[in-house]
Every structure is written in C-alpha cells, then in structure tokens.
C-alpha cells in the first residue's frame, strides 16, 4: 500500500492514457495520491481529478514560477485561492516556494507570494508543500521567520545534509523520490541515511523524475517501489517496513485516513 504524496496527473503527458493508468495504479496498490495544482489552469484540472477519483486528494497553490499570475490579480487572487482550499478534498497548500533556476518570475515577486501563501496556510491550518530550487538560503530565511509550527514538506529535497538537519529540527518532512536511485545522488543518499524514516514522504513528482532504470522516461506512482528499495538498502531496513512507515507518514502529514474521516464528518 503506497501513498504518492506529490504527483501531476493533469499533465498533458498523461492525456493518452490517464484514466486507464490511474485505475490500474489504484488496483495495484496506490491507495492514495495527492495531485498538486500549481497555477490557475492546473488547480482547475486538479479539481477535476479529485472529483472523479475517490483516492485522489488535492494540494493547491501557486508554484514560484507561476506567481506572476498572482501579481496580475493582486486584489482577488488570495480570496480565490482560499475558496479553492475549502473544497473537501483540498488537504494542503502547495506547491509554493522559490525557484531561482528558471527565474521565470522576478525573485521579489516570488518571495512576496511565498510569504502570503504561507500566511494563508497558517490561517487555514493546512500543511504546506514547498518547492525550492537554487534558492536554499532565501527559502531557509523565510521559513525560519514564518514557518514556525507549520506542518511542512520540503518536496524533492535536494540541498545539503547540514540544511536537512536544520529542517528536521524544525519538525519538517522531506520528500524523497526518483532522484535517490540515481548513481550521482550522493547528497540525497546522505540525507536519507541520516534522517529518521518517520520524516520521509514518498513522492513521484510525475511525470518528472522517474527512478532508475527509467530515468528520463515518463514517471508514474507505480515506480515508487524502486524508490522504496533504494531507501531500504541505504538504511539497512526491510522494504515492507519502509513502505508501511511511509504510508503512515503521508496519512499523518495530510490528515488523511481515520483522522481525516473524522474531520470531514465534523465539517
């Protein structure tokens, strides 16, 4: 039983076989997945997936590259996002953060909307999925200032072991996916070796970041067992234990499972 904590099944790479693939994955043990809506268009297509499939939940927010959309609708965009997040299957704010690799949106605009979306997550008492690329220090500075006490996932964690220790001390989770299976992923392997199993969130980020031997191909949740095997090997554990503990981690992080059922009855 596997929970994919970060996927993009609304991506056009799945247009040819989306329904067939999702039905098969669910039958084969993908018990839950969170589809991440990261722009206005992708939030709409994420809603459609969550409406169609019981086992799919949604994380909603503006990716740093897409925060120009927020800037264009500065007056109305936060109330709009808040409204989307009241949907019963909306379980997190994300992916939000900073991306200085693509630099598709000015950095000060990224930082402004990263902060505002963190405030929104706190107001709504929702966990947060962070995207951070080539922006290690600014991400850390903003989270030290504004992230205290938030339930937070450093999605596809790719920074140093030293910084991982800081994030773990802050109580955060780290997302682990296909990269851990790459031969040159020395840093990621060090981080996984060091960190408690209880803080690992399994993810694909599909269609991207397929594990070896599928590197460069289209990824999907059915390839997570390769990630589990790599983690088990690095940590010297049984693969069943990794699978079981990571399922619990994902349910705890997103509040899905028994506690989520109770929460929804109470709404």
Give contact residues for Ni ion (rule: CB under 5 A).
Answer: 205
Least Cβ distance, residue 96 to Ni ion (angstroms): 11
Least Cβ distance, residue 181 to Ni ion (angstroms): 18
Nearer to Ni ion, 65 or 205 (CB): 205
The DSSP letter of residue 257 is S
166: left (phi over 0), alpha (psi -120 to 50) or beta: alpha
Nearer to Ni ion, 218 or 239 (CB): 218
H-only helix segments in 125-156: 136-146
Nearer to Ni ion, 8 or 111 (CB): 8
Residue with nearest beta carbon to Ni ion = 205
Least Cβ distance, residue 6 to Ni ion (angstroms): 6
Cα–Cα dist 60/128, whole Å: 9
Residue 144 neighbours by CB under 8 Å, 6+ apart = 170
Least Cβ distance, residue 38 to Ni ion (angstroms): 7
Cα–Cα dist 229/31, whole Å: 19
- The rounded Cα 87 to chain-centroid distance in angstroms is 18
Nearer to Ni ion, 42 or 151 (CB): 42
């Amino acid at each position: 039983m596997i929970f994919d904590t970060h996927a993009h099944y609304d991506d056009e790479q799945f247009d040819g076989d989306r329904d067939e693939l999702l039905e098969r994955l669910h039958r084969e043990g993908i018990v839950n997945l969170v589809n991440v809506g990261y722009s206005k268009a992708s939030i709409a297509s994420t809603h459609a997936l969550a409406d169609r499939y019981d086992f799919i939940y949604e994380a909603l927010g503006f990716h740093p590259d897409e925060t120009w959309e927020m800037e264009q609708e500065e007056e109305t965009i936060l109330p709009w996002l808040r409204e989307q997040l009241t949907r019963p299957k909306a379980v997190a704010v994300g992916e939000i953060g900073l991306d200085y690799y693509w630099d598709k949106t000015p950095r000060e605009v990224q930082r402004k909307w990263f902060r505002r979306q963190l405030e929104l997550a706190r107001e709504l008492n929702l966990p947060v999925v962070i995207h951070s690329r080539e922006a290690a220090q600014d991400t850390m500075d903003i989270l030290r200032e504004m992230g205290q006490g938030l339930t937070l996932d450093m999605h596809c964690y790719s920074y140093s072991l030293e910084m991982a220790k800081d994030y773990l001390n802050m109580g955060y989770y780290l997302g682990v996916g296909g990269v851990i299976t790459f031969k040159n992923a020395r840093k990621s392997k060090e981080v996984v070796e060091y960190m408690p199993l209880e803080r690992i969130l399994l993810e694909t980020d599909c269609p991207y970041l397929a594990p070896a031997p599928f590197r460069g191909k289209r990824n999907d949740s059915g390839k997570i067992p390769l990630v589990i095997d790599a983690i088990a090997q690095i940590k010297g554990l049984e693969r069943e234990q990794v699978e079981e503990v990571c399922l619990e981690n994902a349910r705890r992080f997103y509040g899905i499972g028994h506690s989520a059922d109770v929460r929804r009855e109470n709404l």
